[in-house]
Amino acid sequence: MARMQPKSIAVFNSNDIYPISADATLPFEQHRDIFYLSGADQEETILVLFPDAIDAKHREVLFVRETNEHIAVWEGEKLSKEKATEVSEIQSIYWLSDFDKVFFDLMTEAETIYFNTNEHYRQAVELQTREDRFIMACKQKFPAHGVAKSFPILQEIRGVKEAEEIALMQTACDITEKGFRRLLSFIKPGVWEYEIEAELLHEFVRNRSKGFAYTPIIASGNNANVLHYIENNQQCHNGDMILMDVAAEYANYSSDLTRTIPVNGKFTARQKAVYNAVLNVKNEATKLLVPGTLWAEYHKECGKIMTSELLGLGLLDKADIQNEDPNWPAYKKYFMHGTSHHIGLNTHDYGELKTPMKANMVFTVEPGIYIPEEKMGVRIEDDVVIQESGAPFNLMKNIPIEVEEIEELMAK
């Protein structure tokens, strides 16, 4: 609210519940902005922020769907007004049915309305969201108001995590660790990728996670070379490695882990060389995540570190580097995705990318080397918190990563 213009109002809507067909729906997933700002994890909720409201009780208002005994029997407990105050610390709670009347009144005091459009750098949404519908209706009903964007403010504040958020992300990472450790004694030749998925889900859910933070990638052998492989329906073979990009959510916060391990518990010399090259890049890249680093420069540095590892593995030679296209450097043949992204309430979270990094931003570090001609792909991914000074704090520091550690645990 401190960042809003004078006499302005901001509105945040819940997500829709996505219909499948007939009466079936997908489970509800709250829009992360209204959740971040209010803690309300319920459909059909609207948050209104109006710092200059004449009546102080209208500076923060939450509208929730009216609940009753019938809804309680069929759907369970929904937010009562008291409960809504408890989760949000907002004193003014109205039923959603009062929204049009109350909102019209507030708009007569406001000059500008902040709309929450989705400007995430990776967004590719074709559906009309509840927020989109609200914006369209609002523009029609209040054509004389000025408009402003909430996204840049949310992007900035959500990008720098509070201590409470980092604690929740640590819990998500700890649950992920339990899942991964369970796999080390489970994976062996003949196991199917979906059996691994089932083991993880079991471990996540029994630890009070709702499940995977994103669609899991469980890619044995050559499947690892399909970056977004999510079929997870193949058998794991002796002599192959398996790349697993799998992690738990907790309290709507994501963790994001990748480990690549040998199906039979022992890396071959070549697998170990490629693995340790990726691990080196990860370790060196992590050191660059300090306040002041620019994301674009960081990625250039990561490219240089990767180039040197690829030379060492014999995948590139000096001529490849001399002749490289600066817009598509030679290393991209084997490492074609980014090294880091912000993580938080979204796996690919909000967060400034064009301004210098700040303490308490949380990033993944996830280099990979993909070699289809050798039917192998290795990626290693941890989540780290930038510190005021010194190296970042690794939220996944307890998750086995060294070759020897993984082999020892798999041998048990």
Which segment (41-49, 230-238, 252-260, 403-411) binds Mn ion by CB under 5 A?
Answer: 252-260
Q: Which is nearer to Mn ion, 39 or 338 (CB)?
A: 338
- Integer Cα distance of 253 and 177 in angstroms: 15
- Numbers of helices and strands, H then E, in the chain: 12, 18
Query: H or E segment at 259?
Result: strand 258-262
Q: What angle do CA 314, 322, 367 make, to 5 degrees?
A: 50
Please report, as residue ranges, which positions from 358 to 377 form the binding site for ligand GLY (by CB under 6 A). 366
323 burial (CB, 10 Å; 0-12 / 13-18 / 19+) is exposed
Q: What angle do CA 330, 336, 339 make, to 5 degrees?
A: 110
Query: H or E segment at 92?
Result: strand 92-95
Does 349 contact ligand GLY by CB under 6 A?
no
- Integer Cα distance of 73 and 362 in angstroms: 41
Choose from ligand GLY, Mn ion, none: what does 214 bind? Cβ within 5-8 Å by kind: ligand GLY
228 burial (CB, 10 Å; 0-12 / 13-18 / 19+) is exposed
Q: What is the per-residue burial (b if ≥16 Cβ within 10 Å, else e) of 385-399?
A: bbeeeeebebbbeeb
Question: Of 394, 298, 308, 301, whose CA–CA distance to 343 is shortest?
Answer: 394
- Integer Cα distance of 388 and 357 in angstroms: 10
Choose from ligand GLY, Mn ion, none: what does 31 bind? Cβ within 5-8 Å by kind: none
Does 383 contact Mn ion by CB under 5 A?
no
Out of 16, 197, 203, 245, the residue judged to bind Mn ion by CB under 5 A: 245
Tokens of residue 287, six digits? 């050191």
Out of 165, 197, 245, 383, the residue judged to bind ligand GLY by CB under 6 A: 245
Q: Which is nearer to Mn ion, 309 or 366 (CB)?
A: 366
Residue type, 57: K
- Binding string to ligand GLY for residues 195 to 214, with x set by CB under 6 A, is what? -------------------x
Tokens of residue 173, six digits? 């990472």
Closest-approach residue to ligand GLY (CB): 245
CB of 238 to ligand GLY, least distance (A): 27
Task: Give me the half-sphere count of Cα atoms (radius 13 Å) on the Cβ side of residue 350.
Answer: 20
- Binding string to ligand GLY for residues 81 to 120, with x set by CB under 6 A, is what? ----------------------------------------
Does 256 contact Mn ion by CB under 5 A?
yes
CA distances from 73 to 29, 67, 69, 83 (A): 22, 11, 6, 18
Number of residues in contact with ligand GLY under rule CB under 6 A: 7
Which segment (123-131, 179-187, 360-368, 401-409) binds Mn ion by CB under 5 A?
Answer: 360-368
State the Cα torsion 250-252-253-255 to the nearest 10°: 60
Does 255 contact ligand GLY by CB under 6 A?
no
Does 393 contact ligand GLY by CB under 6 A?
no
Does 249 contact Mn ion by CB under 5 A?
no
Out of 364, 365, 382, 399, the residue judged to bind Mn ion by CB under 5 A: 364
Does 383 contact ligand GLY by CB under 6 A?
no
Does 382 contact ligand GLY by CB under 6 A?
no
Q: What is the per-residue burial (b if ≥16 Cβ within 10 Å, else e) of 265-279?
A: bebeeebeebbbbbb
CB of 361 to ligand GLY, least distance (A): 16
CB of 242 to Mn ion, least distance (A): 15
Out of 256, 284, 309, 382, the residue judged to bind ligand GLY by CB under 6 A: 256
CB of 382 to Mn ion, least distance (A): 10
Q: Which is nearer to Mn ion, 47 or 380 (CB)?
A: 380
Q: Which is nearer to Mn ion, 245 or 284 (CB)?
A: 245
Which segment (92-100, 115-123, 255-263, 300-308) binds Mn ion by CB under 5 A?
Answer: 255-263
Please report, as residue ranges, which positions from 323 to 342 form the binding site for ligand GLY (by CB under 6 A). 341
Contacts of 140 (CB under 8 A, 6+ apart): none
Q: Which is nearer to ligand GLY, 29 or 132 (CB)?
A: 29
Decide: 223 and 251 in contact? Cβ < 8 Å. no
CB of 88 to ligand GLY, least distance (A): 30
Q: Which is nearer to Mn ion, 131 or 383 (CB)?
A: 383
Decide: 291 and 358 in contact? Cβ < 8 Å. yes
Which residues form the interface with Mn ion (CB under 5 A)? 245, 256, 364, 366, 381
Which residues form the interface with ligand GLY (CB under 6 A)? 214, 245, 256, 341, 347, 366, 381
